[in-house]
Amino acid sequence: MQILVWLVIGLIAGGIASMIVPGRTPAGAIGAVVVGILGGLLGGWILDLLDVSNSLNWIGAIIVATVGAVIILYAMRAMDSRKRV
């Protein structure tokens, strides 16, 4: 059941991050879910470094995952633009 929750949060966060960051999301919808899940892990790691409580509700988890996904998308697009030059 926990995997399903992660997938739903990843889907929502990846979709929101794809709308925030201009350009194409690598691998389409599946890529957005993967970026959302990775963003959740990154966001959770950042919160842990800042010593913030892990007792987030759904909205908090989606916000943290979205912020992490936006960071990942910007990094991916920055690396991609360097390859094309």
Residue 20 in domain: no
Residue corresponding to tokens 């950042």: 46
Tell me the pLDDT band of 81, cut-offs 50, 70 and 90: low
Number of domains comprising the chain: 1
Residue 41 in domain: yes
Residue 42 in domain: yes
pTM: 0.77
Residue 55 in domain: yes
Domain enclosing residue 72, as ranges: 2-8+29-84
Question: What percent of the chain is predicted at pLDDT more than 70?
Answer: 84
Residue corresponding to tokens 């957005």: 32
For residue 54, the SS3 value is coil
Query: What are 17-40's pLDDT values in tens digits?
Result: 888 988 777 777 787 778 888 888
Tell me the pLDDT band of 85, cut-offs 50, 70 and 90: low
- Dump the DSSP string for 15-44: HHHHHHS-SPPTTHHHHHHHHHHHHHHHHH
Residue 19 in domain: no
Residue 51 in domain: yes
Q: Is 25 left (phi over 0), alpha (psi -120 to 50) or beta?
A: beta
Residue 23 in domain: no
